[in-house]
Amino acid sequence: MKQPMKITTLKGNLILMLTAVIWGVSFVSQRVGMEYIKPNTFNGIRTILGAFILVPFVFAREKTGKSRPSDGKKLLIGGIVSGALLCAAGTLQTWGMVYTTSGKSGFITAMYMIFVPIIGLFAGKKVRAATAVGVVLAVVGMYMLSIGGTDIAINKGDVITLACAFIFAFHIMVIDRFSSEVDCVKLACLQFFVCGTINIILMFLFEHPDWALVRACAVPILYSGVMSCGVAYTLQIVGQQYAEPTTASIIMSLESVFAALAGWAVLNETLTLREALGCVLMFAAIIIVQLPQKKRVEAKRNA
């Protein structure tokens, strides 16, 4: 018997809320991980782990006939491009956490919601008034969040994380381009393998990991790999089957709020009133740019 629309919508929203919680807490695990190992080591191990977590889902969907028929070439291109972008963004995000708090990192990373429509300008898309307002609020909010007291310079970690958000915006556009043409779980699994492989190569080239420290960092790595990469992404796919796209985006952007809360609860991080107001403005900007555009009704009068 088919479930009523309200029940399935609520189910999807709750699943996406759980996804946002997992992603938000992951900011803390990444920051803790940086106290032991370097970015490429952390991201390489966790994304490879995330890929292996998704492998059973790939085979299960294939066996049950739920897997979408995919063009092998498009799947390969999409996986390589998205994996490379994910590697770049993840490395910058983790590197930025060495110099900033998990809460600030969460909010600044969420600015990919602002950059996506801006990048769309190059594809000939017009900027809505709401988007322009969102950009202004985001800039003011980030200034208040990143610059406190008499400090006139933006924190090094904030700049690095902002670059990460910009690359994440490109990653979202690539995923949007290929997700309608290939199986989403296969694409996710492949991008994690590509991302992990690049990170592992960079790890051996530049970081020379201490495996004793890797073992000491096992809990943050396991959380980020199993929960953030594997479980949360799968929950996202399931949740979006029941939720309207705009609502889903707003709910998932709450990861920034949960990142700040997790930083306060686990790492005893604090936000000043000024920084908190900056967070509010940035979160408001994230919501504003995602509000659905009202359909224009053109009334033609015949003289």
pLDDT per residue over 112-134, tens digit each? 777 877 777 776 667 677 767 77
**pLDDT for residue 146:** 61
- Which range has highest mean pLDDT (66-70, 158-162, 195-199, 224-228)? 195-199
pLDDT per residue over 5-38, tens digit each? 455 667 777 888 888 888 888 877 877 887 888 8
DSSP track, the chain: -PPPHHHHHHHHHHHHHHHHHHHHHHHHHHHHHTTTS-HHHHHHHHHHHHHHHHHHHHHHHHHHT-SPP--HHHHHHHHHHHHHHHHHHHHHHHHHTTTS-HHHHHHHHTTHHHHHHHHGGGGTPPPPHHHHHHHHHHHHHHHHHH--TT--S--HHHHHHHHHHHHHHHHHHHHHHHHTTS-HHHHHHHHHHHHHHHHHHHIIIII---HHHHHHTHHHHHIIIIIIIIIHHHHHHHHTTTS-HHHHHHHHTTHHHHHHHHHHHHH-----HHHHHHHHHHHHHHHHTTSPPPPP-PPP---
Q: Is the pLDDT of residue 295 over 70?
A: no
Give the residue with greater pLDDT, 6 vs 253: 253
Q: Which of 239, 229, 243, 237 is nearest to 23 (CA)?
A: 229
Please say whether the beta carbons of 13 and 244 come within 8 A.
no
Q: Is the pLDDT of residue 156 over 70?
A: yes
Q: For residue 124, give Cα distances in angstroms to 117, 119, 129, 178.
A: 11, 10, 16, 19
Please say whether the beta carbons of 256 and 286 come within 8 A.
yes
Domains of the chain, by residue range, sit at 7-288
Please say whether the beta carbons of 175 and 79 come within 8 A.
no
Share of the chain above pLDDT 70, in %: 79
Crossing angle for the helix pair 112-119 and 156-179, nearest 10 degrees? 60
Query: 96 is written with which tokens?
Result: 């930025």
d(CA 226, CA 48): 10
pLDDT per residue over 101-111, tens digit each? 766 777 788 77
